[in-house]
Amino acid sequence: MAINSAYGLDLAGLEGLEPQEAARRLAQHGPNELPAARPRPLWSLALGVLREPMFLLLVGAGAIYLALGDLREALMLLAFVLAVMAITLYQERKTERALTALRDLSSPRALVIRGGRQMRIPGREVVKGDLLILNEGDRVPADGVVLACLNLCLDESLLSGESEPVRKLPGEVVLAMAPPGGDGLPFVYSGSLVVGGQGICQALAVGAESQLGKIGRALASLPQEPTGLERQTRHLVRRLALAGALLCALVVVLYGLSRQDWLHGFLAGLSLAMAMLPEEFPVVLSIFLALGAWRISQKNVLTRRMPAVENLGKVWAGGGFFDLGPGPAQALPEAFHQVIEFGILASQPEAFDPMDKALQRLGAEQPGLLEHLHHDWELVREYPLSHELLALSHVWRAAGDGQYVIAAKGAPEAIGDLCHLDPAQAGELAALVQAMAREGLRTIAVAAARFGQEPLPGGQHDFAFQLVGLVGLKDPLRPGVPAAIEECRRAGIRVVMITGDHPRTALAIAAQAGLPEGGQVLTGPELEALDDQALGARLAQVNVFARVAPEQKMRLVQALQARGEVVAMTGDGVNDAPALKTAHIGVAMGGRGTDVARESADLVLLDDDFSSIVAAVRLGRRIYDNLRKAMSYVLAVHVPIAGLSLAPVLMGWPLILLPAHIVFLEMIIDPACSVAFEAEP
């Protein structure tokens, strides 16, 4: 298979399954997802409801009425039992449907080829026979065989226990899968992580047939652990139930001894127990969380939208600037063509990064650049960006002469280091970068080299790079960001910016966003030189962090936590996963983020918009505040109900509230609490 596009993989001529055939296989074999516990049958749900304390009390009260010969009261209580049971069963079924919808929404995405076209689909829609495109940071959605790859390495420790990533080599299509583990095999497995390279594979096993699915069968029957809030609610209900049981016994004894009427004594005791038991708590909790999720969805937090793209603003080459500016594409002078040419060669051919897209968009819009796009060249190697060198290089084999052409792009100081600039040249480059940064431009440098011998060297420094030019990109803020940051400030939430950009660019963007001024910025190299105590002291004054490598984010998160902060962090890459996991709340970018970042996060922001985080925080605080109001109201209302149940026994009066009255009141209180307080601002 030739190599000329899409991360070095030739997709031309690959048809994959036809959409109609894929839909037929999906309907025939079911979705590609792990086996899940089957919904509980109605009789099992009903039995669980009947074991609740409130229903046991109702049944007991009904039995007493039958013993007293009051069939009408007994039937009334039975009607309450059936009505509340029907409501509870409806809520259970609704919850199951909601969980199914959430499972569909959170399904890992897969890039497939169907009908000759690339399309991104939920992982649960992958079927046997699909052609899958795997890129760095993806989770493999199905077991399959590799048809073509470029430096493809996978972490299969989830299945094999091997701590080191394993290399994959292309193989023929087979019908049987070998066990996971081992280097140089052509098989990939569902759930494993692509840690390097790219590949095309064909799905051979999905869902329960995959290696991960076989493990899932054993896990499907395990019970789901309750959340902390659910545990706290149940603990409170149990304590109140115990207090109600003790008072119930006391009332039965007092009533029976004082009036010699033990049946009515039991009825009075059951009435008091029902008045004491706040059975509404679990219902109120469920309603509030369900309505809260609905309100968040109305704020477009769960709506998929394309992320904002960056725009090219200015290009420098050969001692001069060319301002591209907004509006329709302007004709780029010939002197600047080489900068864009090598910038595109240093970008991923199937670009997802906004910077790469901006370069490729300009190349496609410039007729004079079409001859420099080199669709017939072969991408043979990539030198990735690293913590030590903030630059990456692509090695291409030029058509015809077989020579290697190397394109590099990255931070200007890193590219200057690769080009071995003398002090005067380095100073000139730094001045150019500062001038562009003052305009709020994100500046990258582009370099080029040629290499004519085998084998390729081990590092980028072994090439004789020449500086080609600079490209300034505008990273436009979404219109609502300044207002969202101001809202955070009023709410007591501190926002800090962490970026790989030049410090001056970072400060310019921070000023546009409305971050607190002060002009202080902490760079990645400076951060590396600080010990934990010194870093903690700097964090009190600094809100902007520039030239920060992805792996340094985790240290910043830990330093903020050490200061007693509750930290939420956003991220989108593989290297962001440890920091997302370390933060109290990890927020992954759902639009441009990798699967591993989304899996490591607590929340997935599907529209990649900072304003949505603020909306979610605002609604979360509202849900919590209103839930607390509702719980307080429930407890407050139970006090007079319990008093009206206990006072007649102590004072020798006739019973004021019977079980039917109490149940009727509590059935009204439930919806009143949930709806009235949930709608509080």
Rounded mean pLDDT of 273-279? 70
Average pLDDT score over the chain:
77
* Residue 120: strand, helix, or coil: strand
Q: In angstroms, rounded to a whole number, what is the distance separating the alpha carbons of residues 617 and 101?
A: 23
For residue 531, the model assigns a pLDDT of 92
pLDDT tens string 178-213: 777 777 788 999 888 887 778 899 999 988 888 877
Confidence of residue 352 (pLDDT cuts 50, 70, 90): low
The pLDDT score that the predictor gives to residue 335 is 84
Report how far apart, in Å, the C-alpha atoms of 520 and of each of 75, 186, 675 are. Answer: 75, 51, 48
Residue 80 and residue 268: Cα distance in Å, rounded? 18
CA distance 86 to 165: 53
- Residues 74-83 have pLDDT tens digits of 787 777 777 7
How far does CA 680 lie from the centroid of its chain?
29
pLDDT at 156: 80
Counting residues of the chain whose pLDDT is more than 70, the rounded percentage is 74
DSSP of 604-662, one letter per residue? EETT--HHHHHHHHHHHHHHHHHHHHHHHHHHHHHHHHHHHHHHHHHHTPPPS--HHHH
Distance CA 596, CA 594 (A): 5
* Domains defined for the chain, CATH in brackets: 19-33+109-219 (2.70.150.10), 311-474 (3.40.1110.10), 481-608 (3.40.50.1000)
- Long-range contacts made by residues 20-25, C-beta under 8 angstroms, separation at least 24? 21/129, 22/114, 22/125, 22/127, 22/130, 25/127, 25/128, 25/129
pLDDT digits (tens, 9 = 90+) for 250-272: 888 887 888 888 877 887 777 77
Strand order in the sheet with 568-571: 568-571, 585-589, 603-605
pLDDT at position 99, please?
46
- Res 4: pLDDT: 36
pLDDT tens digits, one per residue of 42-63: 777 677 666 666 667 767 777 8
Is the peptide bond between 39 and the residue preceding it cis, with omega within 30 degrees of 0?
no
Angle at the Cα of 639 (from 638 to 642), degrees rounded to 5?
Answer: 80
Confidence category of residue 304, pLDDT binned at 50, 70, 90: very low
Is 7 a residue whose pLDDT tops 50? no
> Does residue 366 or residue 605 have the better pLDDT?
366
Per-residue pLDDT of 442-466, as tens digits, reads 789 999 999 987 788 888 999 999 9
* pLDDT score at 405: 92
pLDDT attached to residue 667: 67
pLDDT at 448: 95
Segment 7-22 shows an average pLDDT of 78
E-state strands within 475-556 = 497-498, 522-523, 544-546
pLDDT at 333: 84
Determine the pLDDT at residue 334: 83
In whole angstroms, give the CA distance from residue 284 to residue 288. 6
User: Does residue 416 have a pLDDT over 90?
Assistant: yes
Q: Are 638 and 278 in contact (CB under 8 A)?
A: yes
Please give the average per-residue pLDDT across 10-39, as a whole number: 81
- What is the gyration radius of the CA atoms in the chain, in angstroms? 32
Whether the CB-CB separation of 603 and 619 falls below 8 Å is answered with no
